[in-house]
Amino acid sequence: MKIYILSGAGLSKDSGISTFRESGGLWNKYDISKVCSLEGWQKDRDFVTKFYDNRRIELKNFKPNPAHYFFAKLEKRYKDHLFHLTQNVDDLLERAGCKNVIHLHGTLTDLRCEDCKNIFYIGYRAQKENEICPKCKSKNIRHNVVMFGEVVLNYRYLYTLAKEADIFIAIGTSGRVIDIVDLSNEFKTTILINPNREKYVTIFGEHEKYIDEFFDIFIQKRAVDSLKDLEKLLGNYDGSFKTATK
């Protein structure tokens, strides 16, 4: 049995990290067109750099929650049979013990050289005014978080890894950034974990159906509250799930 996990902001919410879309989230505090877009970056690099510096410094104070530790244990159990792709740019999965993690949208704790594309770790500090790439010595350095308007290179893993897995688990994601309904079609068995029912929205508009209607199992709970249900489902898996958990 091979497992494919796609996690979103809901995975880290119970660690205290604010999501973008929720009431009082980052989108209510900052203009997304200024801090999360290529256009905003090109207009005011200093402002955007400071935004990511603050997110990086804050990250040190957040701790992994039980859901992060659960997936670390799951990774050890299934070893090379588990793929974890996350939309989150925090390092809480790694701090919980996960090793096999692909960050689709980049990582806060790294910087990237725009000349040689080298990615290097700086931890939880702000970017220095004259930050230098340790590889090519360039000063053309930026945050390592993908912005709207940029090519997301790691999206190439979304469907290639799907070919190797049996079970798809989508947890803590609204499906607004990555079309998890379309992705779910690649798998034999699918599980959705989210506290809210989300309307299926694509570039063509909003559908009448909810996203959970396209999944075999819908656990309508927060990530940290779903762990016992998920453990039971995986423990009883024999090639299919006969009953849904509501």
Question: What pLDDT shows up at residue 132?
Answer: 97
Q: What's the predicted TM-score (pTM) here?
A: 0.92
88 Cβ neighbours under 8 A, 6+ residues apart:
7, 8, 9, 11, 12, 17, 103, 105
Length of the chain: 246
* Cα separation values, 144 from 89, 119, 123, 218, Å: 9, 7, 12, 33
What is the distance between the alpha carbons of residues 152 and 175, in angstroms, rounded to a whole number?
16
Let me know: does 28 contact 192? Beta carbons within 8 Å.
no
What is the distance between the alpha carbons of residues 42 and 40, in angstroms, rounded to a whole number?
5
Catalytic residue among 84, 105, 143, 207: 105
**Amino acid identity, position 34:** K
Question: What pLDDT shows up at residue 87?
Answer: 97
Question: What pLDDT shows up at residue 246?
Answer: 41
Question: What pLDDT shows up at residue 21?
Answer: 59
Average confidence score pLDDT of the chain: 92
Q: Look-up: residue for tokens 């506290």? A: 195
Q: Residue 160 — φ and ψ, nearest 5°?
A: -70, -40
Question: What pLDDT shows up at residue 244?
Answer: 43
Question: What pLDDT shows up at residue 162?
Answer: 93
Question: What pLDDT shows up at residue 28?
Answer: 61
* Neighbour-count burial of 98, counting CB atoms closer than 10 A to its CB (0-12 exposed, 13-18 middle, 19+ buried): buried
What is the distance between the alpha carbons of residues 210 and 175, in angstroms, rounded to a whole number?
11
Give catalytic status of residue 207 as yes or no.
Answer: no
Q: Residue 20 — φ and ψ, nearest 5°?
A: -75, -45
Structural domains of the chain ordered from first start: 1-17+64-105+151-246 (3.40.50.1220), 18-61+108-145 (3.30.1600.10)
Segments of the chain with pLDDT less than 50: 243-246
The angle formed by the CA atoms of residues 208, 209 and 215, to the nearest 5 degrees, is 165
Sign of CA dihedral 152, 154, 160, 161: negative
pLDDT digits (tens, 9 = 90+) for 58-105: 999 999 999 999 999 999 999 889 999 999 999 999 999 999 999 999
191 beta partners:
169, 217
